[in-house]
Structure 1
Amino acid sequence: MSQDAIEAQGLAAGYGGREVLQDVALTLKAGEILCLIGHNGAGKSTLLRVLFGLHRPSAGSIRIFGQTPGTYTPAALGAVGVALVPEGRGVFPDLTVEEIFGLALWSAGVAKAEQRERIEEVLEVLPRIKEFRTRRAGTLSGGQQQMVSIGRALLTRPKVLLLDEPSIGLAPKLFQDLIRPIAALRETRGMSILLVEQNVREAFAVSDRVLVMRSGAFIYEGTPADLDDHAKLMELF
C-alpha cells in the first residue's frame, strides 16, 4: 500500500482534566518499524490507547491507510487491520492458551474453517507456544504469557501492530528471541509496527526510525544509528 499506515495530526488527550498528549503528530509508514521511547509518564501508552480507540482524544484526527474509520473503536480498528498488544499482557489466567486463541478468533469473526490455519501461522512465528498450548495462562512464565499475548494479536493477521513495552519482566535474551520473529513479519507480510520499548538496544536493532517523547510531545526524531552515542541518548531522557 502506498498510503501511510497511520497518520495522526494534532492529537490531544488526558485524564480527569490533566493533559497528557499535546498537539501530537505521528506518521507510521507502510512496512515500517517505528520505535517510540521516553521516560515513564511521557504519554507513550496513552498514545497507543488513543491510536487503538481505547481512549478518546480531545482533539486531532487519525487516518489508517489513508482512510478515517467510521467509528473509532477497537472493533472498528481491528476490522481495518490494527492490533494492539497492551502493556501487562492481559491474558485470562484460568483459560488455556488454546481457549484464549479460540476466543480471540471468535471475537474477530474468523470462520471456523479458517481458524486452524490462523493458529498454525502464529505457531510458525512463535513455535515455542506449541510447548504449552494446553496449559492455563495463569501457570505460564512472564515470557510465555507475552508470547500468548502477541500470538493472540497475530491471529487477526494485522497490517499494523502496536506493541506496548513487550520486554517488561523479560530477560534480554528472551526479549530478543521474541521481538526478532515479530520484526521479520515486516518482510514477509509488509506489516507496520509501532514499538514502545525501554530496552533500546534490542528495539533499535529491529527499528527503522526512532521517536523520543517527553511530557506528551515528541522532542526528537531520527534513526537508531543517530543515537548510537549513549550520552546523546541520555540527554533526551
Structure 2
Amino acid sequence: MSEHPILEFDEVTVHYGASRALDKVSIVVRPGEMVSLLGGNASGKSTTMKTALGLLRPSSGAVRVNGVELTATAPPARIAAGLASVPEARRVFPAMTVEENLYVGGYIRKERRSALAARAAELYEHFPRLRERRGQQAGTLSGGEQQMLAFARALMSKPRLVCMDEPTMGLSPLFVDRVLDEIARLNRELGLAILIVEQQAELALSIAHRGYVLRGGEIVLRGTAAELLDDPRVRDAYLGKVTS
C-alpha cells in the first residue's frame, strides 16, 4: 500500500464571517515533495496555510495529516503529527541568541536540554552560518540569515512537512537566491516535504515539484512545476485574468 499524503485538503471551504476565503479547495502534499501555492493578494494562499496548521477551522471539507483527519484540531495536534511552520516575515526573537531561538523551536517535543543541544548541533551541520553566529542576537542577523534561522527553528521539532509563508519577502535579490537554494537543498538532503506560499511564481516553481494557483479562494490551475512554468495562464492568474 502506498504511503499516505502528509497533508491532504478534501474540498475545504473556509469563511471569515460571511466572507468565503476558500471554496472547495483540494490539495495534496506527499512525502518528500515540494509544493508551491501561487496567487496574488487575497487569493487564499495564506488562508490555506493557516488552515493546514490548524489556525483556522473549515466550515466544510476535511483536512488530513498522514491519512488521519484532523479538521477540527488545534495547532498542537498538527505539530505533533509532524507539521511545522516558517511564518511570514520570519518572526525570530531579536533579543535572543541564534541558539536560544533554535531551542524555542524544540520545546514542543518536551525533551531535555541535552537533547535540544544535540538537535541544534545536527542542524548546524546543515546551516554552518548559524553555527558561526550561535551566540549572536538574532536581531543583528541579515534578513537572509534570519530566514535561515526561522527555517532551522522549524526543523528543531523534527517535522515531516514544513509550511513556509512568503520566505523571500523583504529580502535582497542576492539573499532571495540563497534562501531558495537552501530550501531546495534541504528538501533533497533531508527528504523533507515543503508547502511554500509565494507570490513570485517563477521563483517558487524553479524549486518546486508541483504547484497550485489560487484566485479568489479557488484553485484555478494545478500541475507540475514545468507545466505551470510553460502555461501562459499562470501570469494571467496573478492579474485576475484566468481564461478557460
TM-score, normalised by the number of residues in structure 1 = 0.91
Q: Partners of 2:222 and 2:42 in 1: how far apart?
A: 19
- Partner amino acid for 2:179? L
Q: Contact 1:143/1:169 (CA < 8 Å) preserved in 2?
A: no
Q: Partners of 1:232 and 1:21 in 2: how far apart?
A: 21
Q: Partners of 1:142 and 1:209 in 2: how far apart?
A: 27
- Partner amino acid for 1:200? A
Query: Secondary structure at 1:173's aligned position in 2?
Result: helix
Instruction: Show the counterpart of 1:138.
Output: 139
TM-score, normalised by the number of residues in structure 2 = 0.89
Q: Aligned in 2, Cα 1:236/1:69: closer, same or farther, shift over 3 Å?
A: closer
- Partner amino acid for 1:24? V
Query: Secondary structure at 2:121's aligned position in 1?
Result: helix
Q: Percent identity?
A: 35
Count of residue pairs brought into register by the alignment:
237
Q: Contact 2:85/2:154 (CA < 8 Å) preserved in 1?
A: yes
Q: Aligned in 2, Cα 1:53/1:228: closer, same or farther, shift over 3 Å?
A: closer
Query: Secondary structure at 1:49's aligned position in 2?
Result: helix
Instruction: Show the counterpart of 2:17.
Output: 16
Instruction: Show the counterpart of 2:112.
Output: 111
Instruction: Show the counterpart of 2:50.
Output: 49
Q: Contact 1:159/1:192 (CA < 8 Å) preserved in 2?
A: yes
Structure 2 unmatched runs, 5+: 239-244
Q: Deviations over 1:28-70 (max 9, x none)?
A: 1222111111001101001100100111222221111111249
Instruction: Show the counterpart of 1:190.
Output: 191
Q: Aligned in 2, Cα 1:230/1:23: closer, same or farther, shift over 3 Å?
A: closer
Instruction: Show the counterpart of 2:79.
Output: 78
User: How far off is 1:229 after superposition?
Assistant: 4.2
Q: Aligned in 2, Cα 1:126/1:42: closer, same or farther, shift over 3 Å?
A: same
Pairwise CA RMSD = 2.0
User: How far off is 1:141 after superposition?
Assistant: 2.5
- Partner amino acid for 2:227? D
Query: Secondary structure at 2:73's aligned position in 1?
Result: coil
Q: Aligned in 2, Cα 1:170/1:213: closer, same or farther, shift over 3 Å?
A: same
Q: Partners of 2:178 and 2:24 in 1: how far apart?
A: 36
Q: Partners of 1:80 and 1:5 in 2: how far apart?
A: 9
- Partner amino acid for 1:217? E
Runs of 4+ displaced beyond 4 Å: none
User: How far off is 1:198 after superposition?
Assistant: 2.2
Instruction: Show the counterpart of 1:203.
Output: 204
